[in-house]
Amino acid sequence: MLNIGVLVSGGGTNLQAIIDGTKFGKIKGEVKVVISNKENAYALERARHNNIEAVYETNENEIIRVLKENNVNLVVLAGYLKIVSPKFVNEFRNKIINIHPSLIPSFCGEGYYGEKVHQGVIDYGVKVTGATVHFVDEGADTGPIIMQEVVMVSQEDDAKSVARKVLEVEHRILNNSIKLFCENKLSIQGRRVFINE
Ligand code: GRF
C-alpha cells in the first residue's frame, strides 16, 4: 500500500476522484496528507471530510518535511498552481505525477492553467483537446507522459464546456495512472513511459 501526498490549490475534484479511487480499493494506495498553498481551498475541506490530514503551507521546505513525515512514496499535483523547484523534484525523483488539462505539448507551460488552457483551445480553433498525466521534471509540464485521452471540440463549445468535458477525462486518467504507479507497472526509458501490464 503506497502513501500518497496530494498538492492542491483549488476545488479538489481531482483529489476527490483519487480519494474515491483509494476508498473503493481501485487504487492500492492511501492518501495520507493533502497540502494546499491556498488556505481556503475547498480541496482542504474535502480532505477533512475524509479524515485526511489537511495542511495549508506555502513554504516548499515545509511541504517537503510534511511529505517525508508521512512517508509519502507518490506525490500527486492535482490542480496545484505552483511550479515545484528542482530541489523538490530531486527529493521525489520520478515519484511526482501531474495532471494537465490539455494534450501536452499543446497549451501548456508558463501561464497555461485552469480556464486559460481551454480559452487557448477555443481561440486557436483546434478540433481536439484532452488531458495529460505526466511525471514531473524540472520544467513546467515537460516531464515524460504517462497517459493522455482526447476530447473532441465541437462548434458549439466554449471554454467552459470544454473545461467540463476535459475535467471528466482528467479524473479518469489520473486515477488510472496512479493505480498503475501503485502497482509498479510504470517504467521510464528516456522520455517514454511504458505500461507493463
Ligand atoms: C482544473 O482546471 C484542472 O484542469 C486542473 O486544475 C483545475 C482544478 O482542478 N488540473 P481540481 O478540481 O481542483 O482538481
* pLDDT, tens digit, 9 for 90 and up, residues 144-172: 999 999 999 999 999 999 999 999 999 99
Q: Give the C-alpha distances (Å, rounded to integers) separating 123 from 23, 25, 76, 112, 188.
A: 39, 41, 30, 13, 34
E strands present in 37-138: 53-56, 74-77, 96-100, 128-135
Among 161, 134, 129, residue whose Cα is nearest residue 146: 134
Contact 43, 36 (CB under 8 A): yes
Active-site residue flag, 171: no
Torsion of the alpha carbons at 157, 110, 41 and 163, rounded to the nearest 10: 10
Q: Is 11 in the pocket of ligand 1 (CB under 6 A)?
A: yes
- Threshold 0.85, pTM exceeds: yes
Q: Hey, where are the domains in the chain?
A: 2-195
Gap from CA of 19 to ligand 1 centroid (Å)? 15
Most informative mutation of 7, 14, 164 for ligand 1 (most atoms within 8 A of CB): 14
Is a pLDDT exceeding 90 seen at residue 191?
yes
CATH T-level topology, domain 2-195: Rossmann fold (3.40.50)
Give the residue, by CA position, lying nearest to ligand 1 atom 10: 79
Q: Is 170 in the pocket of ligand 1 (CB under 6 A)?
A: yes
Q: Is 130 in the pocket of ligand 1 (CB under 6 A)?
A: no
Is a pLDDT exceeding 90 seen at residue 24?
no
Give the residue, by CA position, lying nearest to ligand 1 atom 2: 114
The H-assigned helical ranges of 82-188 are 86-91, 115-124, 159-182
Residue with cell 482526447: 150
Q: What is the mean pLDDT of the chain?
A: 97
